[in-house]
Amino acid sequence: MKNIIFIAPPAAGKGTISNMLTDTYHMTHISTGDLLREETSSDSELGKYIKEQMQSGALVNDEIILDLLKKRIAKDDCNDGYILDGFPRNVEQAIAYENILKELNKDLGYVFLLDVDKELAKKRIVGRISCPQCGAVYNEYMEETKPKKDGICDKCNISLVKRDDDNEETFEKRFTTYFEKTEPLINYYKEKGVLYNIPASCGKDPTFAAIKKVMFGE
C-alpha cells in the first residue's frame, strides 16, 4: 500500500475520505496537528516549548514538525501505508519531507488533489450545523444531510448549533488563501508526475471510487 498526501480546499471532504480509507484499508492517519498536541501532553521540554508557541499564537517551526513526523512514520504501523494530513503546506516542506523519505527508504506515493466546486464548498461550510450533545453533523442546505426536523438533531431531539466561523465572509477568505498558498505546491507535484486530480463535488462515494481506481485500478 502506497502512502497518500491530500491537498484539498475547505469542505472538499478530506476528513471523510481519509476515514473511509482508514476503515477500508486500515491505513494509518497522521495529522501534524495531532502530533504537536500529543507532544504537548507529554512532560518533555520539547512539549512545553511547543505548548508555549501554540498558546502565544506563534507557528511551530518546520524543523520540529519534521522531526516529529520522521519519528511517527518510522513506526511499524506506517509500513503498509499511511495518510498524511495537514502537511506539506508549501514546496519547502515538500522537499524536506522527501529527504526524510529517502532516509527511511520510503516511497512518496500518491498526491491527491480534491477538486470541489466553490459554490458547493460554500454550501457545505455555511450550511453546516451540529449537535452539541452527540456531535452529529448536518447541513441545512444539502438535502441528503438535512435534519428531519429543521434545526433539531435526529438522535437527541435538541437544538443544533452553528460554529461562529461557518459564514460566507470567513469561507471566502479561507478559500482564497488556500489557492494562493497551495498553487506552487500543486504545480510542484504536477511536475513530478505524482499529482492526481480527483473530482470531489459528487459526494463521498464517487470520490472514494475515483481514488480506488487510481490506487488499485478498481
122 within some domain: no
Q: Is the pLDDT of residue 213 over 90?
A: yes
Neighbours of 175 (CB within 10 A): 18
DSSP secondary structure of 109-122: -EEEEEE--HHHHH
In a domain, 139, yes or no: no
The grid coordinates of residue 42 equal 507529554
Q: Quote the domain boundaries for residue 98.
A: 4-117+169-216
What is the pLDDT, as a whole number, of residue 218?
Answer: 66
For residues 15-36, average pLDDT = 91
Q: Find out whether 197 and 113 touch, Cβ atoms under 8 Å.
A: yes
Residue 7: per-residue pLDDT: 94
pTM (two decimals): 0.84
Q: Is residue 5 predicted with pLDDT exceeding 70? A: yes
Stretch 72-83: mean pLDDT, rounded? 94
Per-residue model confidence (pLDDT) at position 147: 95
* DSSP H or E run through 213: helix 204-216
Cβ-based neighbours of 196, under 8 Å, separated by 6 or more: 110, 111, 112, 113, 214
Residue 55 lies inside a defined structural domain of this protein = yes
Angle at 180 between CA 179 and CA 186, to 5 degrees: 60
197 is written with which cell numbers? 486530480
In this predicted model, what pLDDT tens digit does every residue of 135-194 receive, in sequence order? Answer: 899 999 988 889 999 999 999 999 999 988 899 999 999 888 888 889 999 999 999 999
* Amino acid 33: pLDDT: 83
Q: How high is the pLDDT of residue 203?
A: 87
pLDDT at 59: 73
Q: Which of 71, 96, 51, 94 is nearest to 186 (CA)?
A: 94
How many CB atoms are closer than 10 A to CB 102? Answer: 9
Assign 30 to helix, strand or coil.
Answer: strand
Cα-trace Rg, the chain: 19
The CATH number covering residue 41 comes to: 3.40.50.300
The catalytic site residues sit at 14, 89, 128, 163, 174
Helix (H) or strand (E) holding 200: none
Instruction: Give mean pLDDT, residues 86-114.
Output: 95
Cell of 33: 496537528
Is residue 77's pLDDT more than 90? yes
Residue 78 lies in a domain: yes
**At which residue does the C-alpha cell 522537499 appear?**
95
79 domain residue, yes or no: yes
Total domains in the fold of the chain: 1
More confident position, 62 or 54: 62
Residue 137 maps to a domain: no
Domain contains 152: no
Could you tell me the maximum CA-CA distance found in the chain, to the nearest angstrom? 55
pLDDT band for position 53 (50/70/90)?
confident
Confidence of residue 67 (pLDDT cuts 50, 70, 90): very high
Q: How high does pLDDT run on average in the chain?
A: 91
Q: What is the mean pLDDT of residues 45-63?
A: 83
- Contact predicate 44/52, CB 8 Å: no
Report the range of poorest mean pLDDT among 57-66, 124-133, 151-160, 182-191. Answer: 57-66
Q: Is residue 155 assigned to a domain?
A: no
Indicate if the pLDDT at residue 127 is higher than 90: yes
